[in-house]
């Protein structure tokens, strides 16, 4: 376990600093409580700071003032009174970004949106519970920003949201409605009660959800085809059932015009190739989600310049992924093969947490061939780039809001955990505090810390 010493230090602090540092060692709980209030600037010293993948300062320090990274680098001259957190062996990286998360809403077999197969006018933000424990768990694991991807039950689904996992409620949402998500594969077919025929009378292909991949692709193509007709002022011949609603048309056209990001979830080689075929037919660009078989389509992905949000990684499929039959041909080497081939790769934990959370996904990718820098890029800079938030997140720069993780060792190692997580200027998780200790307990055990601190 990590030892932390904490001290208040002025520019001309003098000899009292050491004594106070010693005193404060006894009162970690109090120190943490004090860290949480933004009144005093905080200086964190660590063994290593990854400003961005490949750009390392060692040892490094980071000064946080008013929730922002005031200064960052190897040496920071102190001009005024700050609180110092000295973490031996710790490393700092930017907050992790999961570009394909299901946090905050229930993705299940019976919660699929039934209004239509094509719902880009809807926003997943309207169904997200920002106070959900999903976000708390993500933040605790060092994930500070997520793209909440809509449920995969629709052929052309809703628009996702980019949100922070913690912090002030009014600053949580970065983009209300970002990319549209489409799904090619089993899920639009077998989610939502497995697509039985809706009633006795109106039984026809047009009145039910697709039951095969043929039907799914037909819905996909008809949506874009009808949208194009409509945009040209023509009325689709089969207007009515199976055609996208009027509300969807502008969004479908925006996808075709490249005005909003489009992402397609596909796992098996068959579905990935279908997605690429469709993108050529309708001339749109997209990002591939999940992509279990992406290593089988490396040439096609490269040729069409398609980024991949790969994952979750698994040793073998479980849960509903196993049920889809789309994840049987996984490869340990898939992420590293994609990166080596020059495919833009972000990693994602999807709906998984605990020992399958994003840092472990990165660790696993490292076990299977990625370098630490590549793995770090795949969970910070690359997803930031894909989401178009590179100026906000993904790397550390002075002037940005404090959005970073202090790891107990090298990031993504099996023996490492996120010790402190800052999201948008706020310390939201601090595990350097010893188990069960409250600030009050510690204050009693030690001397009166607040008084000593104010002596400075």
Partner 1 sequence: MSEKAMNETRDVNVRRRPGRLRGVGAAAGFMACATMLAFATGRAAMAQTVLLQGGKVIPVVGETIEKGDVLIKNGFIEAVGESVDAPFDATVVDCTDKVIFPGMIDAHTWRGMDQPNESPPVTPFLNVYDAIDPSQLFFEDSLRDGVLSIHIAPGDDTVIGGMSRVVHPIGLTPAEMTTASDVALKLSITPKSGFDRMRQMAMFRETFRKLEEDMKALAEKTYEDKLRDDGKDLDVPPDEAQKRGRELLKPEDVPEKDRNLLLLTQGKLRVFIHCDRAMDVVAGIRLAKEHGFFDQAIFVLGTEAWKAADVLKQAKRPVVLDPRLIHDETDPLTGEEKETFVPKVIDDAGLQFALLRNWGSSMGERYLWYQAARCVREGVSREHALKAITLWPAEMTGLGHRLGSIEIGKDANLLVLTGDPLDMQTWVEKGYVQGIPVYERSEDIRLERLFAEPGADDGPSENAEGEATTEEHHEIHKNEYKEVDPDKRPKRERREGRRGGRRRPRPE
| 371-373-374 Cα angle (round to 5) | 65
Q: Which of 412, 420, 423, 429 binds partner 1 (CB under 8 A)?
A: 412
Cβ proximity to partner 1: between 225 and 329 the closer is 329
358-367 and 372-379 are packed helices; what angle lies between their axes, rounded to 10 degrees?
A: 150
Residues 345-404 that bind partner 1 (CB under 8 A): 354-356, 360, 363-364, 366-369
Kindly give the residue spans of alpha helices, DSSP state H, lying in 292-434. Answer: 298-303, 319-324, 334-340, 358-367, 372-379, 381-387
User: In the bound complex, what is the minimum distance in angstroms from residue 5's beta carbon to partner 1?
Assistant: 17
User: In the bound complex, what is the minimum distance in angstroms from residue 438's beta carbon to partner 1?
Assistant: 14
User: In the bound complex, what is the minimum distance in angstroms from residue 322's beta carbon to partner 1?
Assistant: 6
DSSP annotation of 171 reads G
Whole-angstrom distance, CA of residue 123 vs CA of residue 179: 10
Q: Which of 230, 263, 296, 344 binds partner 1 (CB under 8 A)?
A: 296
Cβ proximity to partner 1: between 210 and 317 the closer is 317
CB 314 within 8 A of CB 289: no
Residues 317-346 that bind partner 1 (CB under 8 A): 317-320, 322-323, 328-333, 337
Chain centre distance of CA 241: 36
Q: Which of 373, 413, 441, 456 binds partner 1 (CB under 8 A)?
A: 413
Residues 89-108: x/- map of binding to partner 1 (CB under 8 A)?
-------------------x
Whole-angstrom distance, CA of residue 28 vs CA of residue 32: 6
Q: Which of 23, 25, 68, 109 binds partner 1 (CB under 8 A)?
A: 109
User: In the bound complex, what is the minimum distance in angstroms from residue 364's beta carbon to partner 1?
Assistant: 6
E strand intervals along 192-300: 262-266, 287-290
Residue whose C-alpha is closest to residue 60's, from 33, 94, 23: 94
Whole-angstrom distance, CA of residue 295 vs CA of residue 65: 45
User: In the bound complex, what is the minimum distance in angstroms from residue 297's beta carbon to partner 1?
Assistant: 9
Q: Which residues bind partner 1 (CB under 8 A)?
A: 1, 108-109, 133, 136, 190, 269-270, 295-296, 313-320, 322-323, 328-333, 337, 354-356, 360, 363-364, 366-369, 408, 412-417, 435
């Amino acid at each position: 376990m990590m030892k932390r010493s904490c001290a208040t230090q002025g520019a001309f602090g003098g000899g009292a600093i050491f004594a106070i540092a010693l005193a404060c060692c006894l009162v970690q709980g109090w120190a943490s409580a004090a860290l949480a209030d933004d009144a005093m600037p905080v200086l964190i010293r660590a063994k290593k700071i990854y400003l961005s993948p490949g750009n390392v300062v060692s040892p490094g320090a980071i000064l946080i003032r008013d929730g922002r990274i005031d200064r960052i680098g190897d040496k920071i001259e102190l001009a005024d009174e700050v609180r110092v957190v000295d973490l031996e062996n710790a490393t700092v990286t930017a907050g992790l970004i999961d570009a394909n998360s299901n946090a905050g809403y229930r993705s299940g077999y019976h919660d699929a949106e039934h209004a239509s197969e094509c719902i880009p006018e809807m926003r997943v933000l309207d169904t997200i519970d920002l106070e959900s424990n999903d976000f708390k768990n993500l933040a605790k694991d060092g994930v500070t920003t997520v793209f909440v991807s809509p449920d995969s039950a629709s052929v052309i689904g809703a628009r996702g949201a980019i949100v922070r996992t913690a912090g002030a409620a009014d600053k949580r949402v970065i983009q209300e409605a970002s990319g549209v998500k489409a799904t090619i594969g089993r899920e639009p077919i077998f989610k939502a009660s497995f697509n039985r025929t809706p009633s006795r009378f109106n039984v026809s292909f047009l009145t039910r959800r697709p039951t095969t991949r043929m039907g799914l692709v037909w819905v996909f193509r008809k949506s874009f085809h009808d949208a194009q007709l409509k945009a040209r002022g023509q009325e689709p011949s089969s207007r009515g059932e199976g055609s996208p609603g009027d509300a969807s048309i502008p969004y479908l056209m925006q996808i075709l015009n490249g005005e909003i990001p489009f992402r397609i979830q596909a796992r098996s080689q068959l579905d990935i190739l279908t997605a690429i075929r469709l993108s050529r037919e309708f001339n749109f660009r997209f990002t591939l989600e999940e992509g279990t078989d992406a290593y089988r389509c490396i040439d096609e992905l490269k040729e069409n310049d398609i980024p991949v949000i790969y994952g979750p990684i698994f040793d073998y499929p479980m849960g509903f992924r196993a049920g889809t039959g789309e994840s049987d041909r996984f490869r340990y080497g898939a992420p590293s093969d994609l990166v080596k081939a020059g495919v833009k790769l972000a990693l994602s934990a999807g709906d998984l947490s605990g020992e399958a959370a994003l840092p472990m996904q990165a660790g696993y990718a490292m076990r299977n061939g990625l370098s630490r820098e590549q793995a770090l890029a795949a969970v910070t800079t690359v997803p930031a780039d894909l989401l178009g938030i590179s100026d906000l997140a993904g790397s550390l720069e002075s002037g940005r809001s404090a959005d970073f993780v202090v790891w107990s060792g090298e990031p993504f190692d099996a023996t490492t955990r996120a010790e402190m997580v800052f999201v948008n200027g706020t310390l939201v998780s601090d595990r350097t505090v010893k188990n069960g200790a409250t600030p009050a307990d510690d204050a009693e055990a030690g001397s009166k810390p607040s008084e000593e601190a104010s002596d400075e």
